[in-house]
């Protein structure tokens, strides 16, 4: 066991908060506004398949003015692939309009929920004087989601793959996050729900990895 860590890093989606029901369920809610009924299980299956094939959203060196466009396009292409895979793309009169609403929806608190154990643990670690950070392969909408879920005040740093140009499991994203705290890897812990991207990747970067099996 390590001594009390200087910093505890956490993954975001699947660790701090999760999707209400499933991605397919949330997609179906937005599709209802456009008069399209979606089979949740088929959309879930198509999304998981397409998400795995898409790789991680990290774009290398990107000007801040271009970042949100690249993030939007990355998710748009994933959505097109998902709905083509499920056979529902052509059900929408204007898929671009639907996707714009879907993209904004996932920046709101509506599709998310905070895991019940999270606030208590974050408060406990803060009371112990441990710095807290997020390392996530999400995109810049994460800031709005954290604010709406009232999680922002807990964190001293937020490191997002699209902003820094590298994604977990690349050790560089951990090094970037550690640098923000002036912390050596041996003094830090990372907690996440992915065995490969959180636990193994953190260990490979010299941090103590904790696999949180939600």
pLDDT for 209 equals 97
197 or 59: whose pLDDT is higher? 197
The DSSP code sequence of 32-49 is HHTT----HHHHHHHHHH
pLDDT for 208 equals 97
Instruction: Indicate whether 23 pLDDT > 90.
Output: yes
pLDDT for 2 equals 57
Instruction: Indicate whether 142 pLDDT > 90.
Output: yes
Instruction: For residues 37 and 133, give the distance between their C-alpha atoms in angstroms, rounded to a whole number.
Output: 39
Instruction: Indicate whether 1 pLDDT > 60.
Output: no
Instruction: For residues 41 and 76, give the distance between their C-alpha atoms in angstroms, rounded to a whole number.
Output: 20
Beta strands in the chain (DSSP E): 7-10, 17-19, 112-114, 131-136, 157-160, 188-192, 208-211
Find out whether 76 and 139 touch, Cβ atoms under 8 Å: no
Instruction: Indicate whether 62 pLDDT > 60.
Output: yes
pLDDT for 63 equals 80
Instruction: For residues 36 and 92, give the distance between their C-alpha atoms in angstroms, rounded to a whole number.
Output: 7
Query: Quick one: what percent of the chain has pLDDT higher than 70?
Result: 99
Instruction: For residues 37 and 48, give the distance between their C-alpha atoms in angstroms, rounded to a whole number.
Output: 19
Q: What pLDDT digit, counting tens, does each position of 154-170 carry?
A: 999 999 999 999 999 99
Q: To the nearest whole number, what is the mean pLDDT of the chain?
A: 96
- Please tell me the pTM assigned to this model: 0.93
Residue 33 pLDDT class (50, 70, 90 cuts): very high
Instruction: Sketch out the chain's domains with CATH numbers.
Output: 7-18+112-211 (3.40.50.1000), 21-105 (1.10.150)
Instruction: For residues 99 and 38, give the distance between their C-alpha atoms in angstroms, rounded to a whole number.
Output: 14
Q: What pLDDT digit, counting tens, does each position of 92-123 carry?
A: 999 999 999 999 999 999 999 999 999 999 99
């Amino acid at each position: 066991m390590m001594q009390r860590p200087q910093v505890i890093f956490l993954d975001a989606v699947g660790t701090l908060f999760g999707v209400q029901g499933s991605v397919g369920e949330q997609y179906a809610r937005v599709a209802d506004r456009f008069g399209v009924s979606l089979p949740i299980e088929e959309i879930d299956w198509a999304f998981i398949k397409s998400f795995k094939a898409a790789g991680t959203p990290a774009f290398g060196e990107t000007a801040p003015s271009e970042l949100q466009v690249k993030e939007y396009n990355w998710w748009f292409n994933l959505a097109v692939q998902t709905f083509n895979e499920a056979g529902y793309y052509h059900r929408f009169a204007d898929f671009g309009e639907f996707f714009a609403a879907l993209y904004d929806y996932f920046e709101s608190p509506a599709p998310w929920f905070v895991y019940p154990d999270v606030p208590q643990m974050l408060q406990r670690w803060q009371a112990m004087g441990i710095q807290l950070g997020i390392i996530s392969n999400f995109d810049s909408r994460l800031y709005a989601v954290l604010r709406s879920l009232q999680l922002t005040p807990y964190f001293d740093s937020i490191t997002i793959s699209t902003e820094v140009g590298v994604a977990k499991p690349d050790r560089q994203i951990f090094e970037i996050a550690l640098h923000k705290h002036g912390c050596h890897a041996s003094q830090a812990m990372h907690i996440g729900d992915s065995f490969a991207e959180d636990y193994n990747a953190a260990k490979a970067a010299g941090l103590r990895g904790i696999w949180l099996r939600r």
